[in-house]
Amino acid sequence: MNIILLGPPGAGKGTQAKRLVDERGMIQLSTGDMLREARTSGTEMGKKVAAVMDAGNLVTDEIVIGLIEERLEGDNGAGFIFDGFPRTLAQADALGELLAAHGAKLDHVIEMQVDDDALVARITGRFTCADCGEVYHDVTRPLPADGKCVNCGSTEMKRRADDNEESLKTRLMAYYKQTSPLIGYYYAKGNLKSVDGLASMDEVGASIAAILDQG
């Protein structure tokens, strides 16, 4: 089963994708994570996209479509979770073609609905464990008193360079101008489902599970 998690930055796509990886063995394909990895490992492509990402703009369709194309080879039968991809209509068309070329299809596009004020609050307080990626928040999910990650015990935490108010404005604008048309696109294709992204992490997880269990 192949699904897209669609929603603005901070909607909880990455958090829910990780749950699906743990619970169902699906493969998370996050173009944001792939681009950050390319930056950390210092590849030419990583250097090229760094400034664009930090400002909160979208990198070119060609780059992200190439990244996804490579990863589709690693199919494990449990399916892919597309997280942060596609973000433009051209990417959505390309994904449809790539899946068809692999004899596969998209089963569900799950829109995670959240309001803009909540996004700003979520993103500006967000940090993650540098070792395992567990997500925390200054106000809503602080570290325990011992300062150790609840998942792996690490004390190394990190914040994304683009999780600041200025970049967030640009990221939100990119979402509304370039990505939100995908909601209509997938509605018209007949595979759009919506969940309330403001509910608790467990409730959102349960809503997504209910959609996937319908088949």
CB of 5 to ligand AMP, least distance (A): 10
Annotated active-site residue in 39, 87, 122, 193: 87
Instruction: Report whether 38 contacts 46 (CB < 8 A).
Output: yes
Contact 122, 19 (CB under 8 A): no
**From the CB of 148, what's the least distance to ligand AMP, in Å?**
25
- In the region spanning residues 100 to 139, those forming contacts with ligand AMP, defined by CB under 6 A, are none
Q: Which stretch binds ligand AMP (CB under 6 A): 52-60, 95-103, 116-124, 190-198?
A: 52-60
Residue 47 or 148 having the CB closest to ligand AMP = 47
What are the CA-CA distances from residue 202 to residues 82, 158, 207, 209 (Å)? Answer: 20, 24, 9, 10
* Closest separation in Å from C-beta 144 to ligand AMP: 26
Query: Is 160 tagged catalytic?
Result: yes
Report how far apart, in Å, the C-alpha atoms of 3 and of each of 36, 91, 215 are: 22, 15, 11
Q: Given the residues 13, 18, 122, 193, select the one marked as catalytic.
A: 13
Out of 19, 39, 171, 193, which residue is the one contacting ligand AMP (CB under 6 A)?
171
- Pairwise CA distance, residues 82 & 27, whole Å: 9
Phi/psi at 84 (5° precision): 85, 10
Instruction: Could you list the beta-strand ranges (E) of the chain.
Output: 3-6, 27-30, 80-83, 108-113, 126-129, 135-137, 157-158, 192-196
**Is 87 an annotated catalytic residue?**
yes
CB of 161 to ligand AMP, least distance (A): 10
State yes or no: residue 91 binds ligand AMP (CB under 6 A): yes
Question: Sheet of 126-129: strands edge to edge?
Answer: 135-137, 126-129, 157-158
Q: Which residues bind ligand AMP (CB under 6 A)?
A: 9, 31-32, 35, 52-53, 56-59, 64, 84-87, 91, 162, 171
Task: Give catalytic residues, as residue numbers.
Answer: 13, 87, 126, 160, 171
